[in-house]
Amino acid sequence: MSKQMQLVQVYGTRLIQARWLSPIILLAFWELGSRTGLIPEHVLAAPSEVLGTLWQMLISGELPRNLLVSLQRAAIGLCIGFGLGTVLGLLAGLSRQGELSFDPVMQIHGKIPVFALTPLFIAWFGIGEFPKIALIAFSTVFPVYLNLYAGIRAVDVRLIEAARSFGLNRREIIWHVILPGALPSLLMGLRYALSVSVLVLVIAEQINASAGLGYLVNNARDFMRTDIIVVCLMVYAVLGLAGDAMVRLLEYRFLAWRPSMVQP
C-alpha cells in the first residue's frame, strides 16, 4: 500500500472519530446536568436512565410488541403510497394525456399539509386503524410520483433516438431505456417516502391508538415519563436510518451499472 493511501486511511479514521466527539460531549453534559439537578427529571431523563428503561422495555417485550404494530402500519401505508405514486408517475411521465389528467391533481396534493388532514380523516374513517394507514399512504404518494415523473422526463433524448435507430419500438424503448434511466429517481422518491412515512407515523399514532410507539408516547406523556418518550424517539430515528440504509442497498443492487456507483 502506498504512503498516500495510508495517509488517506489515517485521515478518514480520524475524521470518523472526530464526528463522534461532539455527540459524546453532548451526552456527557446531558448526564452531568441530570445528575446535578440542572435538568429536572420531568423535563428530560438522564441518558443512563433512558438506557435502563430501554433495556427493561426490551426484556419485558413491551417495546417489541408495540414496535411491530407501528412497523405494520408504516409498511402497509408505504406500500399503498409507493404503488399509487409509481402508477401515477408512469402514466404522467410516459403520456401527454396522462400528464394533463394527473399532474395538476398531484401538484395540488403536494401542496396540502398532510397533518391538517388528520381531523378530516377522523371524521371520514373514524378512529380505527384505517385513518392511520390512510394518512401514511396519502403522504407517501407525492414524493414517489414527483421523483419518478421528473426522472422519466429527464431521460436523455439522444438515448431514445439511438434506441429508435436500432429499431426498438415504443414498448422496448420504455422498458430498456426510459425505465432504467428513471430508476435512480424512483429510488430517491422511495427514500423520501420512507422518511415521510416515519414522520407521519408519529402523528397518525396520536389518533386514539391502543398499541404502537405512539401509544407508548401518549401513556408516557400522561405519567410524565420522559425516559419512555426519549426511548420511542430513539426508535423512530432508528427506523428512519434503517429505511434509508435499505434504499441504499437497493441502489447498490440495481444501479451497479452506473459508473458513479461505488460499491460498499
Could you give the percent of the chain with pLDDT greater than 70? 86
DSSP 3-state of 69: helix
Q: What is the dihedral of CA 253, 254, 257, 261, to 10 degrees?
A: -60
CA distance linking residue 214 with residue 210, whole number of Å: 9
Assign 3 a pLDDT band (cuts: 50, 70, 90): low
Sequence-separated (6 or more) residues with CB below 8 Å from residue 142: 85, 106, 109, 110
**Main-chain phi, psi angles of 223, to 5 degrees:** -105, 10
Q: Which amino acid is at 84?
A: L
For the residues 226-253, what does the mean pLDDT come to?
83
Q: Give whole-number Cα distances, 107 to 15, 92, 140, 143, in Å.
A: 42, 12, 14, 11
Q: Is 200 exposed, middle or buried (0-12, 13-18, 19+ CB in 10 A)?
A: buried
Pick the CATH number of 45-254 from 3.40.1170.10, 3.40.50.300, 1.10.10.60, 1.10.3720.10: 1.10.3720.10
pLDDT for res 258 = 60
- Helices and strands in the chain, H and E counts: 11, 0
What the block records as the C-alpha cell of 47 is: 441518558
Higher local confidence (pLDDT), 169 or 39: 169
On the question of pLDDT at 8 being above 50, the answer is: no
Domain segments of the chain as ranges: 45-254
Please state whether the predicted TM-score (pTM) of the whole model is above 0.85: no
